[in-house]
Structure 1
């Protein structure tokens, strides 16, 4: 347990919530108390945004070399302090150590990419019909950027929702999930130690359903970046539209993984296990529906079930462990309700379907009916359903029947089928002979439909986080 109470981070200082209220952060292994944190209210939100706005007046004029140096230093510190961050991710959100280490390496890459982006803010010299005029355009930072981050990858998303805003001369107020606030506060110390000026990065902790609207609607917030559920994302989208704010949303997924009869089954199986069960399925890119061509369907299902039943469920600090605890009682109930509903409506439980403490066994279902909740909704647990198909055309039709469209994968040795699927599937990211769970700092990351609005990447962020200004110079009449 982190015994000392943890305060908000506003203006480069740890400050208590104005109400004096606190909330508990629980270790998902057994719901024991992990940390106690200040519970922010609307007044604290305003204080954080005002601190960020005040800092923006000078931070916007910081040199690219300064911002580059701070972000590189943050990456170096993250590497040096990786053991501390790994321990946080294990104990606060139940990350198996391999997943926690992956968060570190991905976050280091995000920081380095953002550091490089500081020198990519370029404008244009424009043609003009006015004699004696120079016409140019420049990019300028927006101002205060609000980030709202989830529990499942709190380090990655905490860095992603702050590094590029800071790189482009903006300031940040971050509201983390109430299930993962301590990791985000640790990012604040990382940035402070790296030299990022006071007030440029702020963290408010508390319940998003109580203070999220206040943050999103604050008049000094110019853009909101959100990662989380589709329901909350749609609420934020509506508020941003109402108040004329820019917004990027990375929301849920019901991601298809397709295995055709000519696929390398070993690679398809490895990708399916990773995609379905990494971090016990609590990943938006999880492979929650798998479509397998009939000639290899039975073999694939048998092998997937055997692999799932053998996944490590031991000490989270053991590299052999893949399955950790489900984050909260609410999410545990959701998983159980989805599986129970599917079985009641005729699904076959092929493996798993039971609890070991707060860990849900890796679960594979077949014969899931279309009226089952699990058929169409994101379960966010170590549960996948496998369906037989007769062709790539059927796979494409079924994949596109979902309102979600985050990512998709197809395994085949037929280039024509692979490219047909990649071009026509309604998803923001498609992987041929690769897992659905993939990410790099510079790629356009995001989905379509109920999976998102806008994209995340260094190139896209350079545009989204800045605004054009047209400047003319009349030098000769």
Structure 2
């Protein structure tokens, strides 16, 4: 059994008997680790340490910050097996999903390293004769990040690497279901040469210490990934305290399959998009909308493929379906499916539990009075509905307060572009599944799915502030 602690002021603070919590392996709910349970004083110490180091870290050179992140990427590749083991046991990843997550994290580190040289400026035109008008980007200060359990390495890297690349110290509150991954990444950064005080790690329960971190006056900007309910709470706190905030929240994401679609490709996209990591991905395509003429064929094909998804050993590369993260979430999924079936929805495949794993489940007949219509499942549950025409499909796809990502499968370019233009989503993929990730793109959603965008260019705007400097005589 592992014990993990905070990393504050360049010092490891281990978990103690009186101030710790258990981390459980979702496969069998056995205790996997004991983690330090942070309190308000830990948050204050972390924010204070980061703030005291902010000016010095802002003076670090682009070459240094670039090299630290490139070295970190190399170390992550070297330690891929160790990280995979933790992702399997701590959050119930399959080995294939763990390897995918590590690969994405490595690409994010290398891409973000280049941003260390983008904290520049420009010359502006001015009316003053013999005068220069200059604009400079400066680091904003202490950046806080709050990250989820489902992709703890990807989100830990995305939140931290942009802050570190742009000269800002980072304070990290990871999910209380993934503290071991966070501790390993923190150690990796230190081994890569990142100055100890540039990165602070506080473990604990967000409900107990999250507000203190968000509202600490020394924190200038906050990045949050998680549920829309908590995200809106974080946004309110940031607004009240004059802080920048970026939110990447959930989604009930539509995948539209039109009558001329490549059915094999569409089924594969729905299968992976709906059931990868047992649906515990914010970009999961939990709603599939099919042209009525292809609806029955699609459901038959999807269920046939879903029944064949392996649910075996998580270390077997062929395994796709693993355990749901916690008993609380398992019970919530049971309630959502039961509510739908009691009100008339029909389960076409799946619906059976094997200890902590749920078979890939496909339902039809979901109506707007059912919770499945309005709530993000975060489990291996996909609903399929029929649409009569483009207007009907678009109306169904937009019938949600969320707007993270959407996909459409069609050979009709005009229809595809009209869908991309009119769907209320921050990201749209044509003839590809909803789960897509690249470091350079503006990543995020509309409505209840987020606020702002993650990415390289967008991150540069979030993590820096402009300073205007003039040189020369003023205009009389």
Unaligned runs of at least 5 residues, structure 1: none
Distance 1:416 1:407 in 2: 19
Please say if 1:109 is aligned against 2:140: no
Q: CA deviation at 1:131?
A: 2.2
Aligned to 1:199, the other structure's residue is in SS state: helix
Per-residue CA deviations over 1:346-395 (Å, capped at 9, x if unaligned) read 00111111110100110000011211100111010000000011112211
Give the TM-score normalised by structure 2: 0.98
Please say if 1:291 is aligned against 2:289: yes
Contact kept, 8 Å, 1:18 with 1:41, in 2: the verdict is: no
Give the TM-score normalised by structure 1: 0.98
1:444 maps to what in 2? 442
Contact kept, 8 Å, 1:446 with 1:452, in 2: the verdict is: yes
Q: RMSD over aligned Cα, in angstroms? A: 1.2
Aligned to 2:196, the other structure's residue is in SS state: coil
Per-residue CA deviations over 1:304-344 (Å, capped at 9, x if unaligned) read 01111110000000011000000001100110000000000
Distance 1:248 1:73 in 2: 27
Contact kept, 8 Å, 1:257 with 1:290, in 2: the verdict is: yes
2:311 maps to what in 1? 313
2:216 aligned to 215, 218, 227, which one?
Answer: 218
2:36 aligned to 27, 30, 38, which one?
Answer: 38
Unaligned runs of at least 5 residues, structure 2: none
Task: Give the number of equivalent residue pairs.
Answer: 475
Distance 1:371 1:341 in 2: 10
Distance 2:442 2:405 in 1: 12
Distance 1:75 1:291 in 2: 39
After superposing on structure 2, the runs of 4+ consecutive aligned residues of structure 1 that deviate more than 4 Å are 17-20
1:303 aligned to 297, 301, 304, which one?
Answer: 301
Per-residue CA deviations over 1:455-475 (Å, capped at 9, x if unaligned) read 000110011100000011126
Alignment of structure 1 residues 14-413 onto 2, 5 Å: 14-16=12-14, 20-413=18-411
Contact kept, 8 Å, 1:227 with 1:250, in 2: the verdict is: yes
- Change in CA separation of 1:139 and 1:20 when aligned onto 2, cut-off 3 Å: farther
Aligned to 2:197, the other structure's residue is in SS state: coil
Distance 1:308 1:189 in 2: 39
Contact kept, 8 Å, 1:268 with 1:411, in 2: the verdict is: yes
Contact kept, 8 Å, 2:273 with 2:285, in 1: the verdict is: yes
Q: CA deviation at 1:57?
A: 1.8
Contact kept, 8 Å, 1:39 with 1:207, in 2: the verdict is: yes
Per-residue CA deviations over 1:402-430 (Å, capped at 9, x if unaligned) read 10000000000000110000000000000
Contact kept, 8 Å, 1:256 with 1:287, in 2: the verdict is: yes
Aligned to 1:30, the other structure's residue is in SS state: coil
